[in-house]
Structure 1
Amino acid sequence: MSGSRRDFLKVSGLVAAGLLATPGVALAADPWDAVPGILARIKPPTFPDRDFLVTAYGAKPDGSTDNAAAFRKAIQACTEAGGGRVVVRGGVFVTGGITLQSNVNLFVDKGATIRFHTDPKKYLPVVPTRWQGIECLNYQAFLYANNATNIAVTGAGTLDGQGQTWKPWGGGGGSWTQLQKWGADNTPVAQRRLGEGHKLRPNLIQFVECTNILISGITIERPPMWSVHPVKSRNITVSGITVNSRGGGGNNDGVDPECCTDVHITDCTFNTGDDCIAIKSGRDVDGRRVNMPSQNIVVENSTFVFSNRGAICIGSEASGGARNVYARNCRVNPANAADQLWYVVFIKTSKYRGGTIDGVHFRDITANKLTKSPVFITLNYSGSGNSGPVSNPTVRNITVDRLTVAGSKEYAVEVDGLAASKVSDVVVSSSTFTAISRGANKISNAQNVTFPNTKINGKPA
């Protein structure tokens, strides 16, 4: 870490504690100064004022007809015309996989539902994808795009994944074991062919190597796995969506940007069966091969209703690293009901991941009645497994400012590093933790962890 960055963390901690006045003190730039520039770069795509109703191409909103061909025809017509909206309006439209093309906005109107078919064969042939951070060829996501520019899913309608029908596939069994082996052995991606006969559940929305993405207004229900999964993409806006992923197929994360640059997640509501937001960048040997970080990500003004893991997470698939991640003005368990969420901040990786997580900043977040420690940073994540040689990660420069937590069954802050790779430079400032069962922090294998102007159960941290 540069000397100037270390000096900023130390000096800013003293300022927050009221121990050092700011006039006349030359400070390094506040990391939050980068946020306006990031947001200025993120520009949602716009589309020509042309509508293509799926019903005009043979779609029937009767809840039983397979409308895959009608969606395909409408999207193709929209593309050939130079772009516009493919409109879904009035009723329940059953379909298999939908593939978006450049300059297409899939508009699902209020009162309309796209209900995805439960037959896995409807999501073939296999396509380039990532499954838990390892590249392969597998079932396409229910809503998929590859190498597209200017794409969107908008409207006040619903995407229903009927994910409960995929739940018996579990964690993938032997197929997941095989994929991990392929990743560890550097088997060429073209040879990592899965799909039919295998049990690796698809995501609901996955856009791979796309540019200029907008996902806005929609409600997502019961995905088979992760809900929204942009991969190796840039200029992404996720705005005003509601994710109700409980009751799906398992591992039902909300929004998981992986190896993505310039991402804005705002005004969203999460009620998930796993992590709400999980920032990822590949797994182990295969993630380090791709070596692409997730970076310049802003999360704000969002509500986290339920998660049996974390509200805002990094990892555990973080082998490409993460940097310049910001989250602010969010509410975690605002209903103040017990056992709704585990963590507010959850940074998780392991000695097999590698990668550098550097510059993660949280401020102005409130949380209630958490099951676990509000802030948990671990380099010993038990769910990481072992798919390759040891490659210790680096985690540093984490700030948490003005976090208010009322209730935790464990500690206030847990930092759990490795002897071979200590977590460094963590500042939790101007924060208040009350009703913390263990009444303390738990810090191991870490350095420069400070708590200026922070109280736990009424006492200085």
Structure 2
Amino acid sequence: MQNFAATLLLFGLISFSFVECRRKLLYESYVTYHAINCRKHTAFLTDFGGNGDGITSNTAVFQAAVRNLSQVAEDGGAQLIVPPGKWVTGSFNLTSHFTLFIQSGAVILASQDAGEYPLVEPLPSYGEGRDGPGGRFSSLIGGSHLTDVVITGDNGTIDGQGSVWWKKFNRKKLRNTRPYLIELMYSNQLQISNLTLIDSPSWFVHPVYSSDIIIQELTIRAPIDSPNTDGINPDSCNNVKIQDVNVVSGYDCVAVKSGLDEYGIKFGMPTEQMVIRRLTCNSPNGAVIALGSEMSGGIKNIRAEDITAINSESGIRIKTGPGRGSYITDIFVNGMNLQTMDYVFWTTGSYGQHPDLGFDSKALPVVDRINYRNVVAEDVKTAGNMGGIDGDPFTGFCLSNVTVGFGVPQENLAWNCTDVSGVSSNVTPEPCDVLTEKGPSDCEYPPDPVPIDNFELNTCSFSSTT
């Protein structure tokens, strides 16, 4: 603390020395947490004039805090502590070698003033915004071209207060894309953990064009009828771990993406080397895990294990179509426990959303080597609705040890398959003819970890006063 106080004094923050002395008169306790890196310097949001009354805007305070703390990035980095209170803010960006720690009892409240979210250009791999032809409102918490960033806490909360944005979207009042709650771009060594995230205006967590990412121990909540409030959307990312996450949302709980149509094809950055582990999902309008529909940079080597869901539209859904191009390959799923689902397996080769008319309808995707094993599902309407593309069949499916129970007597076929092929073993009810060729007793699941699994977190701490 003393080192940091001296540093801030050099930058003209003369009030910090008073705050430092006052703290020493109070009872000190240490907060510990796990992070990819610990920090040499510590400051509290109140050191920069923050007001946690739930009314006052702290946008300039967050921005000033990050700007000043960035000056010690090369001297061991800094952690900014958000203490208990309700801290209203608009968009602000983080810096490298930095930790944002949200304490228990602290709530970052997203401002509902659209003017506090500057417009930025559409993502280059998308061409246009997701909600309209214009740009994008900046995310609540963002950053670009960063290294070593941690957003964590002891179950502190980030509340996106998204209802005002949902109403605008549903009334088709938006030309620009709604803010995401957290979006980090062109960055590496990222951690988002140990937080409660609620009511994002749109997607909750969106790492894009980034690598070496740990997302774990999150509780994500939005009304099940809120529009496109996806939980976690890794997008053109490499070496990602998502684990111990509980999502209730208005759309997909985890959606793996990599750009859209000709823009994603040109940008050419795949999402690969990912593990999704111990995910719990409740989303009647979305998939537990979606692959696409934006997948034009490619999706490869995705693993999912120990997945639980209730009252969701589908277990695993592959979403693509003509114009997307690229590939979805080497997908491995081991262990799903599903309850009350429309579909267990859903593969869509006719997903028709496009950013503009410039897409090439002859750019057909390759879908191959898709392995599902050890799946139990109850109260299901359809076991599998699996459709490829006429003239571009989806191949290499393997299903083993799958048991599906139905909530009501089947009026339709339990399986519906067109333009797909593969093998199966020990699947009940028996799948489509194109999937009944005898396969291995256990479909492949790679025994070696993804690289991010070999990374061990450090135990970090700071002194908190009471």
Q: TM-score, normalized by length of structure 1? A: 0.79
Matched, 1:262 2:201: no
What is the distance in 2 between the residues matched to 1:273 and 1:440?
A: 26
Name which one, 1 or 2, has greater alpha-carbon Rg.
Answer: 2
Q: CA deviation at 1:139?
A: 2.0
What is the distance in 1 between the residues matched to 2:137 and 2:323?
A: 27
2:85 to 91, 111, 133: 91
Q: Secondary structure at the residue paired with 1:217? A: strand
2:325 to 340, 348, 354: 354
Could you tell me which residue of structure 2 aligns to residue 443 of structure 1?
A: 417
Q: Secondary structure at the residue paired with 2:215? A: strand
> Which amino acid in structure 2 is aligned with residue 441 of structure 1?
W
Q: 1:346 to 1:44 in 2, by over 3 A?
A: farther
Any conservation in 2 of the 1:347–1:378 contact (CA below 8 Å)? yes
What is the distance in 1 between the residues matched to 2:35 and 2:299?
A: 23
2:347 to 377, 386, 392: 377
Q: Secondary structure at the residue paired with 2:123? A: strand
Could you tell me which residue of structure 2 aligns to residue 341 of structure 1?
A: 312
Any conservation in 2 of the 1:204–1:224 contact (CA below 8 Å)? yes
What is the distance in 2 between the residues matched to 1:318 and 1:260?
A: 12
> Which amino acid in structure 2 is aligned with residue 356 of structure 1?
Y
1:228-276, Cα deviation, whole Å (9 max, x unpaired): 0011000010000011022786210000000000010000000011000
Could you tell me which residue of structure 1 aligns to residue 147 of structure 2?
A: 149
What is the distance in 1 between the residues matched to 2:46 and 2:317?
A: 44
How many correspondences in the alignment? 387
Any conservation in 2 of the 1:167–1:250 contact (CA below 8 Å)? yes
> Which amino acid in structure 2 is aligned with residue 313 of structure 1?
A
Q: TM-score, normalized by length of structure 2? A: 0.78
Could you tell me which residue of structure 1 aligns to residue 98 of structure 2?
A: 104
Could you tell me which residue of structure 2 aligns to residue 398 of structure 1?
A: 370
1:157-215, Cα deviation, whole Å (9 max, x unpaired): 1111111111233279697xxxxxxxxxxxxxxxxxxxxxx432121111110111000
What is the distance in 1 between the residues matched to 2:284 and 2:214?
A: 22
Could you tell me which residue of structure 2 aligns to residue 430 of structure 1?
A: 401
Any conservation in 1 of the 2:300–2:331 contact (CA below 8 Å)? yes
What is the distance in 1 between the residues matched to 2:295 and 2:268?
A: 10
Could you tell me which residue of structure 2 aligns to residue 39 of structure 1?
A: none
What is the distance in 2 between the residues matched to 1:223 and 1:174?
A: 18
What is the distance in 1 between the residues matched to 2:265 and 2:250?
A: 28
Instruction: Give 1:103-122 correspondences, 5 Å limit.
Output: 103-122=97-116
> Which amino acid in structure 1 is aligned with residue 99 of structure 2?
N
What is the distance in 1 between the residues matched to 2:369 and 2:81?
A: 45
Q: CA deviation at 1:359?
A: 0.6
Q: CA deviation at 1:216?
A: 0.1
Q: Secondary structure at the residue paired with 1:70? A: helix
Q: Secondary structure at the residue paired with 1:241? A: strand
Q: 1:170 to 1:319 in 2, by over 3 A?
A: same
Could you tell me which residue of structure 1 aligns to residue 379 of structure 2?
A: 407
1:127 to 120, 129, 132: 120
Q: CA deviation at 1:52?
A: 1.1
What is the identity percentage for the equivalent residue pairs of Structure 1 and Structure 2?
26
Q: CA deviation at 1:130?
A: 2.7
Could you tell me which residue of structure 1 aligns to residue 12 of structure 2?
A: none
Could you tell me which residue of structure 1 aligns to residue 28 of structure 2?
A: none
What is the distance in 2 between the residues matched to 1:413 and 1:132?
A: 31
Could you tell me which residue of structure 1 aligns to residue 428 of structure 2?
A: 455
> Which amino acid in structure 1 is aligned with residue 64 of structure 2?
K
Could you tell me which residue of structure 1 aligns to residue 164 of structure 2?
A: 165
> Which amino acid in structure 1 is aligned with residue 55 of structure 2?
S
Q: CA deviation at 1:307?
A: 4.0
Instruction: Give 1:37-436 correspondences, 5 Å limit.
Output: 45-82=36-73, 83-124=77-118, 126-130=119-123, 133-134=126-127, 137-155=135-153, 156-170=155-169, 198-246=175-223, 250-333=227-310, 340-370=311-341, 372-383=342-353, 387=357, 388-390=359-361, 391-409=363-381, 411-435=382-406
What is the distance in 1 between the residues matched to 2:151 and 2:248?
A: 20
What is the distance in 1 between the residues matched to 2:225 and 2:146?
A: 28
Any conservation in 1 of the 2:35–2:191 contact (CA below 8 Å)? yes
What is the distance in 2 between the residues matched to 1:142 and 1:310?
A: 25
Q: Secondary structure at the residue paired with 1:300? A: strand
Any conservation in 1 of the 2:415–2:431 contact (CA below 8 Å)? no
What is the distance in 2 between the residues matched to 1:341 and 1:112?
A: 31
Gaps spanning 5+ residues in structure 2: where?
Answer: 1-33, 130-134, 437-466
Could you tell me which residue of structure 2 aligns to residue 20 of structure 1?
A: none
Any conservation in 1 of the 2:90–2:117 contact (CA below 8 Å)? yes
What is the distance in 2 between the residues matched to 1:397 and 1:384?
A: 26
Any conservation in 2 of the 1:110–1:157 contact (CA below 8 Å)? yes
What is the distance in 2 between the residues matched to 1:308 and 1:174?
A: 22
What is the distance in 1 between the residues matched to 2:431 and 2:93?
A: 54
Any conservation in 1 of the 2:89–2:111 contact (CA below 8 Å)? yes
What is the distance in 2 between the residues matched to 1:147 and 1:95?
A: 23
Q: 1:212 to 1:278 in 2, by over 3 A?
A: same
Q: CA deviation at 1:451?
A: 1.7
Q: CA deviation at 1:432?
A: 0.9
Q: CA deviation at 1:226?
A: 0.5
Q: 1:299 to 1:44 in 2, by over 3 A?
A: farther
> Which amino acid in structure 2 is aligned with residue 285 of structure 1?
E
What is the distance in 2 between the residues matched to 1:357 and 1:441?
A: 22
What is the distance in 2 between the residues matched to 1:283 and 1:74?
A: 36
Q: CA deviation at 1:458?
A: 12
1:59-83, Cα deviation, whole Å (9 max, x unpaired): 0110001111111122123221232
Q: Please identify which structure carries the higher strand content.
A: 2
Q: CA deviation at 1:440?
A: 2.8
What is the distance in 1 between the residues matched to 2:414 and 2:43?
A: 59
Q: CA deviation at 1:301?
A: 1.1
Q: 1:127 to 1:311 in 2, by over 3 A?
A: same
Any conservation in 1 of the 2:98–2:149 contact (CA below 8 Å)? yes
Q: 1:364 to 1:140 in 2, by over 3 A?
A: same
Q: Secondary structure at the residue paired with 1:56? A: helix
**Where has structure 1 moved over 6 Å in runs of 4 or more?**
457-461
Any conservation in 1 of the 2:224–2:284 contact (CA below 8 Å)? no
Q: CA deviation at 1:383?
A: 4.6
